[in-house]
Amino acid sequence: MIRHMRLIGCFVQASLQEEAAYPANYWVGLAHSLLNLVTGVLGIAVLFGQVETVRGWDFAATLALLGVYLTAGALRGLFIGPSLDALAGMDGEVWSGRLDFTLLRPVDIQFLASFRRWRALALFDVLLGAGILVVAVTQMQAALGPDRLAAFLVALAAGTVILYALLLAGAALVFWSPGTLFTWIFDGLFQLARYPLGLYPGWLRLVLTWIVPVGVITTIPAEALAGTLSPGALAGSAGLAAVLFVAASALFRQAVRRYEGASS
């Protein structure tokens, strides 16, 4: 465990040094994050400028959901996305055959594949997401008690694990069909998590809950914050996170076993 923590420290340091070589990227990245935030908030403001509530969701609760969406996306951008992309993205190691060298390293491959690349700029996105969450809480009618905060943190952690498991499964599938851009399909579906599941028609709600559970990632924590979440749903999302994590890890191990090298 201590060794793994120390390794993560090394990965973070190496990534930071690599990024520091491109200072202009910071400004472009910051501008990009701010644009993403502004369009997200204005989208909600326009909607609730016309209606008071939609299917039980008011401005504050929907804003909280946007905060969860941005935070989850930022955690993905911080390390899950860059690390898995280096493995299974376009021109990734599975595709190019450089995975040979990665596999030879004396560390667990899933650990290495999940933590080795970091993007410091995403910390700014985490702050923006947290800021939106704070603003949303101040807009809510009832004050935030410790029980709701605890439920929110559990739901957020479960959501992040679900996000990680889905991305890991996507990376594993690339071993079977290299060049398929599973993350692109996922990105499209993940955008739907910007708005509460309840705003979508029934068939889409089923897809986003049970088939590709991206809706669970944002809706459950936002409901926890707004105090409308049932204990059963919270337990359900934690259970789903555990099941998906185990299943995705097993799939990933199976996938790595299939790997045969691609270079000459």
Partner 1 sequence: MNHRGGLALIIATWSSWLQYRGFFFLLAFGWMIPPLIYLLVWSTAAGERAVAGLGRDDLITYYLVLILVNQLTYAQANWTVGDLIHDGRMNVLLLRPIPPLYDAIASEVAGKVVYLAFDLPVVALLAVLLRPEVRIVPQAVLPFALALVLAWALRFFWGYWLALLAFWTTRSSALLAAQDALVFLLAGLVAPMALLPAWLRGAATLLPFRYMVGFPVEVLTGQVTGAAVAQGFALQAGWLLVALALSAAAWRAGLRHYTAVGG
Binding site for partner 1 (CB under 8 A): 24, 28, 31-32, 35-36, 38-39, 42-43, 45-47, 49-51, 54-55, 181, 184-185, 187-189, 191-192, 194-195, 199-201, 203-204
User: C-beta of 35: minimal distance to partner 1 in Å?
Assistant: 4
Closest to partner 1 by CB, 17 vs 50, is 50
Closest to partner 1 by CB, 13 vs 53, is 53
With beta carbons less than 8 A apart as the criterion, state whether 159 and 83 touch. no
User: C-beta of 125: minimal distance to partner 1 in Å?
Assistant: 15
User: C-beta of 180: minimal distance to partner 1 in Å?
Assistant: 8
User: C-beta of 2: minimal distance to partner 1 in Å?
Assistant: 41
| Rounded-to-integer distance, Cα 52 and Cα 174, Å | 45
| Rounded-to-integer distance, Cα 78 and Cα 6, Å | 18
Closest to partner 1 by CB, 199 vs 256, is 199
Closest to partner 1 by CB, 10 vs 185, is 185
Closest to partner 1 by CB, 195 vs 252, is 195
User: C-beta of 46: minimal distance to partner 1 in Å?
Assistant: 5
Closest to partner 1 by CB, 88 vs 154, is 88
User: C-beta of 51: minimal distance to partner 1 in Å?
Assistant: 5
